[in-house]
């Protein structure tokens, strides 16, 4: 197993992973050109964050994305774990556990990082159990958002 940062040549596969996430967890279809451009933008602009991928059995079998959020309360940076995907045939085999361990290992090299956060669908009980087993705990926060009315990202 090799865990590495995503490269430009991984963008199309990561876009497919993200489309699969959206379909599985929310029942929505992302617009291929939009998600592909979004993945490429992240890879090309490391100040926005990064993707990690798991190479195993001659292919990418899992990935996640990390973005950052400054916390003035803690005078530190939270790393947000997003877009977690493991191919169905590789689930429940510890790939996410390895990715999470690598995120924490990388963060140890960054003194400004104060912790890790992620959001998960309310009904995704399996994922919640996984996150709890790794030491994460549910917060008291709810997530709210408002998207620009002109934004089109899904069908």
DSSP 67: E
Task: Give Cα 37 distance to the centre of its chain.
Answer: 16
Going from N- to C-terminal start, the domains of the chain cover 2-133
pLDDT of residue 28: 94
Q: Any bridge partners for residue 56, and if so which?
A: 59
Helix, strand or coil, per DSSP, at residue 49? strand
143 CB-near residues (< 8 Å, 6+ apart): 119
pLDDT of residue 153: 86
pLDDT of residue 137: 95
pTM, 2 dp:
0.91
Q: How many helices (H) and strands (E) does the chain have?
A: 4, 5
CA-nearest of 32, 30, 31, 63 to 49 is: 63
Asked whether residue 155 carries a pLDDT value surpassing 90, the answer given is: no
pLDDT of residue 33: 96
pLDDT of residue 95: 97
The CA-atom distances, in angstroms, between 16 and each of 26, 39, 98 are: 15, 10, 21
pLDDT tens-digit map of 116-152: 999 998 888 988 999 999 999 999 998 898 988 888 8
pLDDT tens-digit map of 53-93: 999 999 999 999 999 999 999 999 999 999 999 999 999 99
Q: Where are the alpha helices (DSSP H) in the chain?
A: 11-26, 32-44, 95-108, 125-133
pLDDT of residue 31: 96
- CATH number (3.30.230.10, 3.40.630.30, 1.10.3720.10, 3.40.50.620) of 2-133 reads 3.40.630.30
pLDDT of residue 149: 87
pLDDT of residue 154: 84
């Amino acid at each position: 197993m090799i865990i590495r940062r995503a490269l430009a040549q991984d963008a199309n596969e990561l876009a497919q992973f993200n489309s699969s996430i959206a379909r599985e967890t929310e029942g929505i279809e992302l617009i291929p050109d939009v998600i592909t451009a979004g993945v490429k933008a992240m890879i090309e602009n490391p100040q926005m964050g990064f993707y990690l991928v798991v190479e195993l059995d001659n292919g990418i079998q899992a990935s996640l994305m990390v973005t950052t959020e400054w916390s003035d309360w803690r005078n530190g940076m939270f790393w947000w774990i997003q877009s977690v995907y493991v191919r169905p045939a590789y689930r429940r085999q510890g790939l996410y556990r390895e990715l999470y361990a690598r995120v924490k290992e990388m963060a140890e090299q960054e003194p400004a990082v104060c912790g890790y956060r992620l959001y998960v669908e309310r009904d995704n009980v399996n994922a919640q159990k996984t996150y709890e087993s790794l030491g994460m705990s549910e917060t008291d926060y709810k997530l709210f958002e408002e998207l620009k009315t002109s934004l089109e990202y899904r069908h």
